[in-house]
Amino acid sequence: MATIFPVDDVIDEPWYPGYDPARNDDFMAFDRPGNFSKKDETAFWPLDFHYPRGVVPLGVTVIVSGACWGSQVAAEAVPLPAGRGLRGRFVGPHLYATEVPVASPFEIELRTGRVAQRMPELIAGFPEMWRRAVAELEGWQALERRDLSTLDRAGIGAFFDEAVTYVRRAWEIHFEAMYPLLANYLGFQGLCGELGLDPGQVATFLQGYPSKIVETDRELWRLTALAREQGLEALFASTEAADLSGALRSSPAAEAWLREFDSYIDVYGWRTEVITDVAVAPWVEDPISPLGTIKTFLTASGDHDFDAAIQQAAAEREHAIAGARSQLTGEELKAFDAALESCRAANFTWWNEEHNFYIDLRAHIPIRRAALALADALGVEERDDVFFLFSYEFRDLCAGRQEWSDLADITAERRAWFIAWQERRGALPRVLGTRPQGSADPVVKEIFGMGRHYFEALEADGGAGTRLEGLPASSGVARGRARVLLSPAELHAIEPGEVLVCEATSPSWTPAFTKIAACVCDVGGSLTHASIVSREYRIPCVTACAVATTTIRTGDIVEVDGGNGVVTIVSRGEAEPAA
């Protein structure tokens, strides 16, 4: 009998005050996001870990016109046999996501035939496709630097429309690449299973290829070494992260270092700490995060050795491949080598980090810039209030159909509602609807990590025990003080040697992986960010623990056995709230 996580308790949860669904003008191919209804219980809805703060009204445009639209368009173009891309439901401002299903077995069969014909072409053409995609995305990035200060309201509205088109196109590219790469990866897993090899080893076969995200971290450590060389350690140590920018700019001793830092920000600073969140300032606007990270890097006993980590990851990769090949002969070996070469040329584990530099962390920033420009043009006292406008209200203001005085009260009410919901996320159901039978959907299993480990932990009494089990995502054993984070807002404050405990990570969390001892996540599979980066940076990681953030407290001493997927609370520290 199917396990059902009922939606009854969330059906009546109201959404943002004053929202008019009839006026929603975001792009959509299928199934516009909204609130839960009883009929949604037949699907499986994980709480989406990408948006730990929840979604502000203007951010809905990024999700609907971006991720939902892009996934649905790409799912038809590939096509995906049983799904038409992503759809969402909200409980408060928090998003649950699942696929738009293809219900007809006959249509699924036809789509399966179509994708089988297209896959060789898609995979063989991936390197050139991605090169062209990066060139296109770099063209769109001109919007990041356009001067908006002289624009009137109509001009800001035109820029906003361009920014939404950028988001829409970026996420089309995202899923045009992701779906074929993921299908190829899962096909290799299936082949390994047929050959008697461990399908879980496929991630290891493809590790050790540096990405733009790793490049960003390497440059951050270079700045750390330069700060040490130029005698700035004392200034960093004595200054709070929030005050570092001002302190450095008022210090003549930091002038040369700041030139290097500003150059770094100009290249790598177009990123926010929460992906696709327009309400979070990027590094180019507020450098607290990179400066605070450098502050903690300076307290480490030594610099992170990127070259050694890459060499170790590559050595482990080649050893695993040699071990797998030694078990095969003849046609089996030919099939394995061909599939391996295909996945190397179109490497999902590499791309899953690489693309974040171009899309997930930055494509939404021009929408934020449009919002702040409108706030300035209208003289809005609390500039962030503009993020609590829906897109149709934003366009009304730009076109002069409404004035700020018409919307000021409702945006303030929505802001208060959003803040009140922050404390409720920890109590939200982690999943809703009907649990998949047998093996979970590959995307749900490999990226969200909702397979056997997750459901066993979810259904157990996780709050009272001192031992958690999850998915062994990256091997090794480490022990350290736990730091529980529910969002990346305080990520820069993690101290070297601590164990990061969180719902899940995204690429904005990566700098912390060069200083933490281990990582523990509530959700995540072998292809989630935490798993991939932990393997590249050679730290133990356990994902899909389900209840780690509610069982472990900041200050606890924990031991993480990444090879066996076990997390042990060795001793309890003084209770501290999760950041």
pLDDT digits (tens, 9 = 90+) for 256-297: 999 999 999 999 999 998 889 999 999 999 999 999 999 999
Grade residue 442 by pLDDT with cuts at 50, 70 and 90: low
Contact 499/518 with Cβ under 8 angstroms? yes
Between CA 450 and CA 146 the distance in angstroms is: 42
For position 439, what pLDDT does the model report? 47
Rounded to whole angstroms, what are the CA distances from 480 to 306, 495, 524, 579?
22, 11, 21, 18
Question: What pLDDT score does 2 carry?
Answer: 74
Per-residue pLDDT band for 194 (boundaries 50, 70, 90) equals very high
Q: Report whether pLDDT(227) > 60.
A: yes
> Taking all residues of the chain, what is their mean pLDDT, rounded to a whole number?
92
- The whole-angstrom separation of Cα 304 and Cα 529 is 19
Compute how many other C-beta atoms are within 10 angstroms of the C-beta atom of residue 226: 15
Distance of alpha carbon 557 from alpha carbon 552, whole angstroms: 9
Q: What b/e readout covers 374-386, taking b as 16+ CB neighbours within 10 angstroms?
A: bbebbebeeeebb
Cα angle 119-120-124, degrees, rounded to a multiple of 5:
115
The predicted structure's pLDDT at residue 423: 83
Residue type for 168, please?
A: R
- C-alpha span between 53 and 278 (Å, rounded): 12
Q: Which residue has the higher pLDDT, 579 or 523?
A: 523
For residues 518-536, average pLDDT: 93
Q: What is the pLDDT of residue 106?
A: 96
Residue 428, SS3 per DSSP: coil
pLDDT (0 to 100) of residue 396 = 97
CA angle (500 as vertex; 495, 505 as ends), nearest 5: 120
Residue 475: its pLDDT value, please? 93
Domains of the chain: 4-10+40-182+361-425 (no CATH), 448-571 (3.50.30.10)
Q: How confident is the model at residue 493 (pLDDT cuts 50, 70, 90)?
A: confident
> Interhelix angle for 404-422 vs 391-399, to 10°?
160
Q: Is residue 451's pLDDT more than 90? A: no
Q: Which long-range contacts (CB under 8 A, 24 or more apart) does 406-414 make?
A: 408/380, 410/17, 410/18, 411/385, 411/386, 412/382, 412/385, 412/388, 413/17, 413/18, 414/16, 414/17, 414/18, 414/57, 414/388
Paired with 35 in beta bridges are 90
455 Rama sector, left if φ>0, alpha if ψ -120 to 50, beta otherwise? alpha
Q: Could you tell me the pLDDT band of residue 461, with boundaries at 50, 70 and 90?
A: low
Query: Residue 140: how many CB atoms within 10 A of its CB?
Result: 20
What tens digit of pLDDT does each residue of 50-93 get?
A: 888 999 999 999 999 999 999 999 999 999 898 899 999 999 99
Question: Does 122 have pLDDT greater than 70?
Answer: yes
Q: pLDDT tens across 541-559, in order?
A: 999 999 999 899 999 999 9
Across the range 244-256, mean pLDDT stands at: 97
Tell me, what's the pLDDT at 1?
A: 63
pLDDT surpassing 90 at residue 180: yes
Q: Is 215 exposed, middle or buried (0-12, 13-18, 19+ CB in 10 A)?
A: middle
Percent of the chain with pLDDT over 70: 96
**In the predicted model, is pLDDT for residue 109 greater than 90?**
yes
Instruction: Please tell me the pTM assigned to this model.
Output: 0.93
Confidence band of 13 (pLDDT split at 50, 70, 90)? confident
How far from each other are the two terminal CA atoms of the chain, in whole angstroms?
Answer: 39
Q: List the one residue out of 297, 257, 204, 298 whose CA is nearest residue 516.
A: 297
H or E segment to which residue 356 belongs: helix 348-358
Q: What is the pLDDT of residue 190?
A: 93
* Lowest mean pLDDT segment, chosen from 77-86, 150-159, 451-460, 499-508: 451-460
Nearest CA to 471 out of 568, 541, 533 is that of 541
**Whole-number Å distance between alpha carbons of 46 and 447:** 11
- What's the pLDDT at 331? 96
pLDDT(489) > 90: no
Exposure b/e, 182-193, CB count within 10 A at least 16 = b: bbbbbbbbebbe
* pLDDT tens-digit readout, 143-157: 999 999 999 999 999
